[in-house]
Amino acid sequence: MADHIPLYPVQSAAAAAAANRKRAAYYSAAGPGQGADRHSRYQLEDESAHLDEMPLMMSEEGFENDESDYHTLPRARITRRRRGIEWLVCGGWKSLCTSCCDWLIHVCQRKKELKARTVWLGCPEKCEEKHPRNAIKNQKYNVFTFIPGVLYEQFKFFLNLYFLVVSCSQFVPALKIGYLYTYWAPLGFVLAVTIMREAIDEFRRFRRDKEMNSQLYSKLTVRGKVQVKSSDIQVGDLIIVEKNQRIPSDMVFLRTSEKAGSCFIRTDQLDGETDWKLKVAVSCTQRLPALGDLFSINAYVYAQKPQLDIHSFEGTFTREDSDPPVHESLSIENTLWASTVVASGTVIGVVIYTGKETRSVMNTSNPKNKVGLLDLELNQLTKALFLALIALSAVMVALQGFVGPWYRNLFRFLLLFSYIIPISLRVNLDMGKAAYGWMIMRDEHIPGTVVRTSTIPEELGRLVYLMTDKTGTLTQNEMVFKRLHLGTVSYGTDTMDEIQNHVITSYSQTQSQASGNNASSTPPRKAQSSAPKVRRSVSSRIHEAVKAIALCHNVTPVYESRAAGAGETEYAEVDQDFSDENRTYQASSPDEVALVQWTESVGLTLVSRDLTSMQLKTPSGQILTYHVLQVFPFTSENKRMGIVVRDESTAEITFYMKGADVAMSTIVQYNDWLEEECGNMAREGLRTLVVAKKSLTEEQYQDFESRYSQAKLSLHDRALKVAAVVESLEREMELLCLTGVEDQLQADVRPTLEMLRNAGIKIWMLTGDKLETATCIAKSSHLVSRTQDIHVFRPVTNRGEAHLELNAFRRKHDCALVIAGDSLEVCLKYYEHEFVELACQCPAVVCCRCSPTQKAHIVKLLQQHTGRRTCAVGDGGNDVSMIQAADCGIGIEGKAVFSSVFYFASVPLYQGFLMVGYATIYTMFPVFSLVLDQDVKPETALLYPELYKDLTKGRSLSFKTFLIWVLISIYQGGILMYGALVLFESEFVHVVAISFTALILTELLMVALTIRTWHWLMVVAEFLSLGCYLASLAFLNEYFGIGRVSFGAFLDVAFITTVTFLWKVSAITVVSCLPLYILKYLKRKLSPPSYSKLTS
pLDDT tens-digit map of 301-352: 999 989 888 888 888 999 988 878 888 888 888 999 998 999 888 999 999 9
First-to-last C-alpha distance (Å) of the chain: 64
Alpha helices (H) in 242-372, listed in sequence order: 283-286, 359-362
Cβ pair 791, 812 in contact under 8 A: yes
Determine phi and psi for 226, rounding to 5 degrees.
-130, 150
The mean per-residue pLDDT over the stretch 160-186 comes to: 81
The mean per-residue pLDDT over the stretch 981-1003 comes to: 71
Residue 530 has pLDDT above 50, yes or no: no
Better pLDDT: 662 or 512: 662
Taking the C-alpha atoms of residue 65 and residue 68, their distance in angstroms, rounded to an integer, is 9
Q: How confident is the model at residue 894 (pLDDT cuts 50, 70, 90)?
A: very low
Chain mean position to CA 423 = 36
Taking the C-alpha atoms of residue 1080 and residue 707, their distance in angstroms, rounded to an integer, is 87
Cβ pair 236, 254 in contact under 8 A: no
Taking the C-alpha atoms of residue 315 and residue 317, their distance in angstroms, rounded to an integer, is 7
The mean per-residue pLDDT over the stretch 238-250 comes to: 92
Q: Which of 104-118, 634-648, 677-691, 825-839 has the lowest mean pLDDT?
A: 104-118
**Three-state DSSP class for residue 1079:** helix
Q: Tell me the percentage of the chain whose pLDDT exceeds 90.
A: 16
Residue 630 has pLDDT above 70, yes or no: yes
In 3D space, the residue among 197, 201, 179 whose CA is nearest the CA of residue 189 turns out to be 197
Cβ pair 683, 648 in contact under 8 A: no
Query: Angle CA(437)–CA(443)–CA(448) in degrees, nearest 5?
Result: 85
The tens digit of pLDDT for each residue in 839-867 reads: 999 989 999 888 888 888 999 999 999 88
Instruction: State yes or no: is 469 an active-site residue.
Output: yes
Alpha-carbon dihedral angle through residues 851, 855, 856, 857, given to the nearest 10 degrees: 90
Taking the C-alpha atoms of residue 315 and residue 360, their distance in angstroms, rounded to an integer, is 19
- Indicate if the alpha-carbon torsion angle 1041, 1042, 1044, 1046 is positive or negative: negative
Q: Please state whether the peptide bond connecting residue 324 to the residue before it is cis, i.e. omega within 30 degrees of 0.
A: yes
Taking the C-alpha atoms of residue 250 and residue 228, their distance in angstroms, rounded to an integer, is 16
Report how far apart, in Å, the C-alpha atoms of 561 and of each of 571, 581, 617, 1086, 1088 are. 10, 10, 20, 77, 70
Identify the helix (H) or strand (E) that includes residue 76. Answer: helix 74-81
Question: What's the order of all strands across the beta sheet hosting 888-891?
Answer: 789-792, 815-820, 844-848, 762-766, 463-468, 869-874, 888-891
Strand segments, DSSP code E, in 931-997 are: none
Phi-psi region of 178 (alpha: psi -120 to 50; beta: other; left: phi over 0): beta
Residue 294 has pLDDT above 90, yes or no: no
Furthest C-alpha separation in the chain: 132
Q: How confident is the model at residue 703 (pLDDT cuts 50, 70, 90)?
A: very high
- The amino acid occupying position 191 is L
Residue 904 has pLDDT above 70, yes or no: no
Taking the C-alpha atoms of residue 249 and residue 119, their distance in angstroms, rounded to an integer, is 14
Alpha-carbon dihedral angle through residues 734, 594, 337, 874, given to the nearest 10 degrees: 120
The mean per-residue pLDDT over the stretch 816-823 comes to: 90
Taking the C-alpha atoms of residue 891 and residue 873, their distance in angstroms, rounded to an integer, is 6
Q: How confident is the model at residue 20 (pLDDT cuts 50, 70, 90)?
A: very low
Question: What's the full length of the chain, in residues?
Answer: 1096
Q: How confident is the model at residue 403 (pLDDT cuts 50, 70, 90)?
A: confident
pLDDT number for residue 333:
87
Alpha-carbon dihedral angle through residues 116, 120, 121, 126, given to the nearest 10 degrees: -120
Return the percent helix, strand and coil in the chain, to nearest 5: 50, 15, 30
Cβ pair 149, 140 in contact under 8 A: yes
The mean per-residue pLDDT over the stretch 904-918 comes to: 36
Cβ pair 509, 520 in contact under 8 A: no
In 3D space, the residue among 240, 235, 234, 236 whose CA is nearest the CA of residue 219 turns out to be 240
Report how far apart, in Å, the C-alpha atoms of 447 and of each of 300, 368, 439, 441 are. 52, 27, 11, 7
Q: How confident is the model at residue 241 (pLDDT cuts 50, 70, 90)?
A: very high
Cβ pair 279, 260 in contact under 8 A: no
Taking the C-alpha atoms of residue 535 and residue 528, their distance in angstroms, rounded to an integer, is 10
Q: Which letter does DSSP use for residue 282 in this model?
A: -
Cβ pair 581, 587 in contact under 8 A: no
Residue 66 has pLDDT above 60, yes or no: no
Q: Which long-range contacts (CB under 8 A, 24 or more apart) does 956-959 make?
A: 956/895, 957/374, 957/377, 957/378, 957/381, 957/895, 959/381, 959/384
Q: How many distinct helices (H) and strands (E) make up the chain?
A: 38, 32
pLDDT number for residue 697:
92
Q: Give the burial string for 478-512 (b: 16+ CB within 10 Å, else e).
A: ebebbbbbbeeebbeeeebeebbebbbbbbebbee
Taking the C-alpha atoms of residue 159 and residue 381, their distance in angstroms, rounded to an integer, is 9
Q: How confident is the model at residue 60 (pLDDT cuts 50, 70, 90)?
A: very low
Cβ pair 851, 879 in contact under 8 A: no
The mean per-residue pLDDT over the stretch 778-800 comes to: 86
Phi-psi region of 91 (alpha: psi -120 to 50; beta: other; left: phi over 0): left
pLDDT number for residue 238:
92
pLDDT number for residue 644:
94
Q: Which letter does DSSP use for residue 130 in this model?
A: -
pLDDT number for residue 29:
38
Cβ pair 968, 1016 in contact under 8 A: no
- The amino acid occupying position 409 is N
Burial of 938 (0-12, 13-18, 19+ CB in 10 A): exposed
Taking the C-alpha atoms of residue 734 and residue 159, their distance in angstroms, rounded to an integer, is 74
Point out the catalytic residue in the list 469, 769, 875, 879. 469
In 3D space, the residue among 970, 1051, 957, 1009 whose CA is nearest the CA of residue 382 turns out to be 957
Cβ pair 107, 92 in contact under 8 A: no
Residue 157 has pLDDT above 70, yes or no: yes
Residue 498 has pLDDT above 60, yes or no: yes
Better pLDDT: 776 or 72: 776
Q: How confident is the model at residue 85 (pLDDT cuts 50, 70, 90)?
A: low
Cβ pair 736, 693 in contact under 8 A: yes
Q: Which letter does DSSP use for residue 567 in this model?
A: T
**Three-state DSSP class for residue 349:** strand
Taking the C-alpha atoms of residue 311 and residue 173, their distance in angstroms, rounded to an integer, is 67
Bridge partners for 586 per DSSP: 556
Parallel, antiparallel or unpaired: strands 815-820 and 844-848: parallel
| Residue 516: other Cβ atoms inside 10 A | 12
In 3D space, the residue among 280, 233, 290 whose CA is nearest the CA of residue 253 turns out to be 280
